[in-house]
Amino acid sequence: MIGFGLLGTGLVAPFHARALQASSRAKLAGASDVDAARLDKFTGDFGCPGYATLAAMLGNPAVQVVNILTPNHLHYEAVLACARAGRHVLVEKPPAMSLREVDAMAEACREAGVQIGVVLQCRVRKPIQAMRRAIEEGRFGRLLHADAYMKWFRTAEYYRLDAWRSLRRAGAGVTVQQAFHYIDLLQYLAGPVSRVDARMSNLAHPGVELEDTALAFVRYRSGAQGVVQASTALWPGTDIRIELNGENGTAIMVGERMETWKFRDERPEDAEVRSYGSAAVATGATGPADFAFQDHQALIDDMAEAVTAGREPMIPLSSARHTLEWALAMYQSAKDQAPVELPLRDEAAVW
């Protein structure tokens, strides 16, 4: 059993804790938060030691992996501190706020000889894995379109829960905070983008100084094109859609279920693929805690195995770098009201 310590005991922490409780490879070895009341409640609920600081938690040798569950802009410093202490890291999305930070984190972990994985748990959904296999096997033929549609809803109270949730610089806009998962799925499936043309607006949260809606037209390096549509303004919130269209096939995931799976070369196993997922499983459309912990558990189990085997985790930091670059390019494009070519030349201009 590999011991995991949680840094941050806010909204997402119980999902990690439940995943650890359900795991046969990993266990909850401690938790830390600067907010003493939150920490007390959490350690009471989950029965683990609590620490007022990260340094104190790192003093516990049973903590072999630290899950970074602090607000987005605080991930960077925490990852560096964990690496310096020789601890493996599983960092929530987005891994950091700039490519420079991502590269420094990668370097620190490499130097310390520790693994770093990113919590982009939507990749483990069965429809996504089936789409990825079909792409690798060439079943789509030439990929023509790869799109993400996220028509979600968040209340005004959600943005007031914690100060960072209404800070653009903390990545709390819809582009980085919610749509990051689906931008990641597009780059995971359809490959990197070479051009992004984005517009952003605030449609339903007038008290909040960040975008609750983003639209982008993208060109993939492969030649395919696509759309990213993301919003937390669209009541009551409906399930996300990931759509792939190629010369020889179309696949559409809605929420976590396969809605459309059609190829010119129909195979016997396709009938089963069409049954993947369930409309009854919530995937975040209507509220921030409106999802299941099983996808997190897959990543935690994998991290425990990776540490034991001395291999990279399933979603290494390097595989999430382009997701951040794409999101940053959307901000740059919306700011300039003009298309942006990738690789990004001056990311410092984004925020």
Ligand X SMILES: NC(=O)c1ccc[n+]([C@@H]2O[C@H](COP(=O)([O-])OP(=O)(O)OC[C@H]3O[C@@H](n4cnc5c(N)ncnc54)[C@H](O)[C@@H]3O)[C@@H](O)[C@H]2O)c1
Residue ranges in contact with ligand X by CB under 6 A: 7-12, 32-35, 38, 54, 69-72, 74, 92-93, 119, 121, 162, 177
In the complex, the smallest distance separating the C-beta of residue 276 from ligand X, rounded to whole angstroms, is 20
* Nearer Cβ to ligand X (340/350): 350
* Nearer Cβ to ligand X (64/72): 72
Give the strand order in the sheet containing 116-119. 50-51, 26-32, 2-7, 65-68, 88-92, 116-119
Contacts of 14 (CB under 8 A, 6+ apart): 42, 45, 46
Please identify which residue in the block is written with the tokens 């990776």.
306
Which residue lies nearest ligand X, judged by its C-beta? 10
In the complex, the smallest distance separating the C-beta of residue 250 from ligand X, rounded to whole angstroms, is 27
In the complex, the smallest distance separating the C-beta of residue 34 from ligand X, rounded to whole angstroms, is 4
In the complex, the smallest distance separating the C-beta of residue 216 from ligand X, rounded to whole angstroms, is 20
Pairing between strand 193-201 and 249-254? unpaired
* Nearer Cβ to ligand X (32/229): 32
- The burial of 71, by beta-carbon neighbours within 10 Å (0-12 exposed, 13-18 middle, 19 or more buried), is given as middle
Gap between the Cα atoms of 332 and 327, Å rounded: 9
In the complex, the smallest distance separating the C-beta of residue 325 from ligand X, rounded to whole angstroms, is 18
In the complex, the smallest distance separating the C-beta of residue 339 from ligand X, rounded to whole angstroms, is 28
Pairing between strand 26-32 and 50-51? parallel
* Nearer Cβ to ligand X (57/329): 57
User: What one-character DSSP code corresponds to residue 316?
Assistant: B
* Nearer Cβ to ligand X (162/270): 162
* Nearer Cβ to ligand X (74/148): 74
Q: Is the Cβ–Cβ distance between 318 and 95 less than 8 Å?
A: no
Gap between the Cα atoms of 127 and 347, Å rounded: 33
What is the token pair recorded at 255? 């929420």
